[in-house]
Amino acid sequence: MLIILAFLCFQYAGTNSTIIEPTLNSEVKCRSERKMYYNFNDFKMDVCARCYMYMPPILFHVKFKYDEEMNILRDPRSNLSYSADPFNVSQELSNSFMEEYFFWKWKSCCVAAWRCCIHMIEKSPPPLEGSYCPRTWDGWQCWPDTPAGITAKQPCQDYIYFQSSPPTCPKYAYKKCLTNGTWYRRFNLYEWTNYLKCGRRDEHRRFLYFHIATHAISIVSIIPALIIFLAYK
């Protein structure tokens, strides 16, 4: 029975690693948050290395360094390099994570990026009329062609929550397309997506305010009872 289960798991993993391929043989390339365009295979390696790079250091035993020129990850102890492929990962790279749970977060980011690239390749171009910000991967998630002057929004992805569970109510990230058809750049340096609303701070704040209000109501309701009690005493 265990052998059968192991075989099925292997088959499932293998299927996942092969189905994420574009169905069209296209010359269209995929855009990353660095405003660079790659063919599908180069994009896969680059975005996976960057998904790893963007993860907080606290999630790792030893965090490998990102080699921007080679699109690889490098072990700072041995200086050995490793390709950032979660379906064909080395033991050394896998062991760099504090927990397997964090490895799966990284893998989910990679798969989302690959699917984003396929979407960029296979989706029809935007209308010729009007100005659009280009479809892109922002380092965490996918954004479609967006009309100039519009702020796009996308649900916050589960894999961006590293040390807490995703919020119970949907949260959204926002990306602003300027009137000139370019994505908003923070400090005029790099394209920026607003993920501030993805945090659970607002949810905790509302929870805290609710409890403060209920306690205040309870205290106010006790005052008349105390007055009556003291009057009869």
Note the pLDDT tens digit of each residue in 218-229.
455 566 666 665
Domain housing 208: 201-232
Is 185 within a domain? yes
Is 10 within a domain? no
Shared domain for 137 and 220, answered yes or no, is: no
Is 39 within a domain? yes
Shared domain for 130 and 227, answered yes or no, is: no
What is the domain-level CATH number for residue 85? 4.10.1240.10
Q: Is 46 exposed, middle or buried (0-12, 13-18, 19+ CB in 10 A)?
A: buried
Is 13 within a domain? no
Shared domain for 216 and 120, answered yes or no, is: no
Domain count, the chain: 2
Residue length of the chain: 233
What's the pTM?
0.75
Shared domain for 158 and 92, answered yes or no, is: yes
What are the angstrom distances between the C-alpha of 189 and each of 60, 103, 141, 183, 186? 29, 30, 20, 11, 6
pLDDT digits (tens, 9 = 90+) for 36-87: 999 999 999 999 999 999 999 999 999 999 999 888 999 999 999 999 999 9
Shared domain for 182 and 207, answered yes or no, is: no
Those residues whose C-beta lies under 8 Å from the C-beta of residue 138, and which sit 6 or more positions away, are 33, 175, 191, 193
Shared domain for 99 and 210, answered yes or no, is: no
